[in-house]
Structure 1
């Protein structure tokens, strides 16, 4: 009588070696999937945060923002407006007192959102062209909005190339103080 384990020891060793090889392959695949999941998880988190945060990818409804949130989003918008005015040379279209005009805040906020959308991650290559068209259509509206300010709306009337930083800072401080 032969021992049933004699012949199968070599076969068993071969099966175990194959299983170890399979386990190594599965571990590599699992590591790759964990890495990919981590990247995707970060992307999803960013998109969810952007959707929840007005001004960064999510729509801005200025009428629903409270003092602190309004101040935060308005401060972010101020950065966009400053860059827009300087970069596009819109000193003649956007008055330094832009933040004092609800309609201008809405218009400039919409431009900000459009640009954020056009240049967001994973966007189509033609969206920057769309952004330029949106901006070109908005400039005449901005000029109309600020026409009265050309005649001395702001006191003292700063030059069109200056932003009323002190006035804006005071306004932001008032909004933050209201929020408590």
Structure 2
């Protein structure tokens, strides 16, 4: 039994059937920027400059993530698993767009990586939290039947590369971010 079938069918239960769609919708490409914008407004209002700058850097990194994800989705035709494989259940609705790479995983990895690269305190705790979050995201998109394991791996790479590019460029060209 392959990993996708194991997660999508082998671990099927009512709890996951209820929770996975909520996680999937709450971490979507249109929700994450809204949450970051709300946090940015709050950070601006409370004069939390370091948090504000990290959130701005997250937006900058997400620009690269969206460009990479949509370029790959348009370039590489890969139907969703539930469309191609008869043994894969679709647990929650999606846009039906190409599967490769996982935008949910890429977005999550981008934001998590930027935070990990810029926050110096409690680094070991942040690493553990990011790892746990990425496991939850990988599980969520495969349990939902919308991504293959390769899509998840590609999403992790896209997110990490996007974060590195944004942090590098901000240090090199944007003085306001270099002291974060």
Task: Work out whether the TM-score is over 0.5.
Answer: no
Q: TM-score, normalised by structure 1?
A: 0.32
Q: TM-score, normalised by structure 2?
A: 0.32
Which structure has the higher relative contact order (CA within 8 Å, separation 6+)?
2
Determine which structure has more spread, i.e. the larger CA radius of gyration: 1
